[in-house]
Amino acid sequence: MNKLIIGLDGYDSNFSGCTTHFTLFFLHYLKKSLKQFRLIGDPLLVRLNPNIPFKTRGNASVSVMLEGNLSYEDVLRAADEASMIYSFEKKGTIAVAMLDYVSDEKKRRVLSDFYRKSVTDFVPHKLAEEIAEEVGVAVEGYKSLVGALASIGYAFSGDDSTFELLAYRDPRNMGERSVDREYVARELLAYESLFNNVGKKKNRLVAIPRGPDPVLIGIRGIDKRDLLKAFAKISPHMEKSSSWCVFRSNQHTDPHAVPRKIGELRVYRMGVIEGVVVGKPVIKKGGHAFLRIKDASGDIEVAFYKETNPMNVVASKLISGDVLRVLGGAVDGKGDEAMIFEAEKLWVLRAPDLEVKLNPKCPKCGARMESAGKEKGFKCPKCGYRFRGKLEKETIFLKRELPSGPISPLEGRLRHIVKPPELDGRPLPRVNFTVTEEPACFF
């Protein structure tokens, strides 16, 4: 008997599917080909840097831990065979390591550091090859090695996690999903630990994808028992699913929120920056707001797109001297900018009251006087009084009605990795490969 940790990525096919769906298909195939094994712990669903342009659909990779009489060869061959049946071609990349072998503290750190780099930065393929070689991970496939390896690394990271119960459609069911939406929405809203499943607007079920997708429903939460309870209650009110599984995931945990200096940013590097606003925001057609911020190491243009509302609205009210914290990622700029920073979350750390100088009041009638021209003093528009001498202007401070944050886009506009406001400040369960809960997977 041995324990294996297996990372999978890039198995999504053109007509349907994603790596999570393929994972259950692969486990089913392994079971059918009479390989004795047991799944240990929750399968991990790992989201990587969403700004990388050549990512796979959904940008998700998966890792699973198995115990059984399985060799590297068994697993690698089964993945290839399962892929041939699943998408009629050998797709994706599988990375396999014996858990005993990577139980070495140093190797685990190398893998978890690799995971962190994959979610916050650009990772050259060459680096993934070198790391796989260094820690002794067997690999089959090429293109999606970064994701496959990173999904193994997440297991050793000790990072925050959430859960997603993914249930898949029976392939014989086509077209519109048969779901009692009203019942399902009501049930999912009844649990305090479930989040981002039902949109606040018109109770739209965001847990149910639209169009040709093998997913029937994806329920997100931070308590696995609540997910299972809710699923058991809603299942009779939906078409029958062919397989389902609770994945532990880094999604919606802000795994990319590493502090960076502006001068350290590179294209595709993500993180949290802090800086002072320089100049006025530029508002472009449609409501996109652009702001320049600087710290001691440099300055950068920050983009608050209209899709990130209400962030773009707050950004448009900021002025020179305000201090901000922004979570996001650097991407190629257009036009004059070599690089811009796309905002995903905003905190207004300091927005001092606005100092406004007003003309003095008329000493005769009390109305606000007007300038009578350069060095000509003031005149009163109401009683006509003229004053040629020196009068002090009056200084007032205008309150700035700005939320301090975190300010993030509305539900449904949140990227997979961004932590929604309702989870801010709440303790999240940590991923820990040594504490293995009984998995909840049906395949």
Alpha-carbon distance of 47 to 59, in angstroms, equals 6
Residue closer to Zn ion, measured from CB, 284 or 364: 364
Question: Would you count residue 354 as binding Zn ion (CB under 5 A)?
Answer: no
Q: How far is the CB of 390 from Zn ion (least distance, A)?
A: 18
Whole-angstrom distance, CA of residue 224 vs CA of residue 77: 32
* Binding residues with Zn ion: total (CB under 5 A): 8
Instruction: Give the nearer residue to Zn ion in terms of CB position, either 350 or 382.
Output: 382
Shortest Å distance, C-beta 385 to Zn ion? 4
Residue type, 428: L
CA distance 418 to 401: 25
Q: Which is nearer to Zn ion, 230 or 362 (CB)?
A: 362
CB 327 within 8 A of CB 344: yes
Residue 442 contacts residue 245 (beta carbons within 8 Å): yes
Residue found by looking up tokens 């201090």 in the block: 323
Near Zn ion by CB under 5 A: residue from 101, 385, 442, 443: 385
Q: In sequence order, which residues have a C-beta less than 8 Å from that of residue 209 and are 6 or more positions away? A: 215, 218
Contact 204, 179 (CB under 8 A): no
Select 190 or 383, whichever has its Cβ closest to Zn ion: 383
Cβ atoms < 10 Å from Cβ of 426: 10
**Which residues is 97 bridged to in the sheet?**
5
Q: Show the site string, 112-131: x = touches Zn ion by CB under 5 A, - = not.
A: --------------------
Q: Which residues contact 95 (CB under 8 A, 6 or more apart)?
A: 6, 7, 8, 132, 137, 138, 139, 145, 148, 149, 152
CB 357 to Zn ion: min, Å: 20
Q: Which stretch binds Zn ion (CB under 5 A): 21-29, 162-170, 366-374, 418-426?
A: 366-374
List all residues 6 or more positions away from 438 whose beta carbon is below 8 Å from its beta carbon. Answer: none
Cβ distance to Zn ion smaller for residue 383 or 402: 383
364 is a site residue for Zn ion (CB under 5 A)? yes
38 sits near Zn ion (criterion: CB under 5 A):
no
Q: Which is nearer to Zn ion, 183 or 387 (CB)?
A: 387
- How many whole angstroms separate alpha carbon 82 and alpha carbon 80? 5
Sole binder of Zn ion in the list 18, 167, 273, 362 (CB under 5 A): 362
Q: Is 379 in the site for Zn ion (CB under 5 A)?
A: no
Among 380, 414, 418, 440, binds Zn ion (CB under 5 A): 380
CB 324 within 8 A of CB 348: yes
Please report whether residue 365 would count as binding Zn ion according to CB under 5 A. yes
* In the complex, least distance from residue 384 CB atom to Zn ion, rounded to whole angstroms: 7
Q: How far is the CB of 383 from Zn ion (least distance, A)?
A: 3
Residues in contact with Zn ion by the rule CB under 5 A? 362, 364-365, 367, 380, 382-383, 385
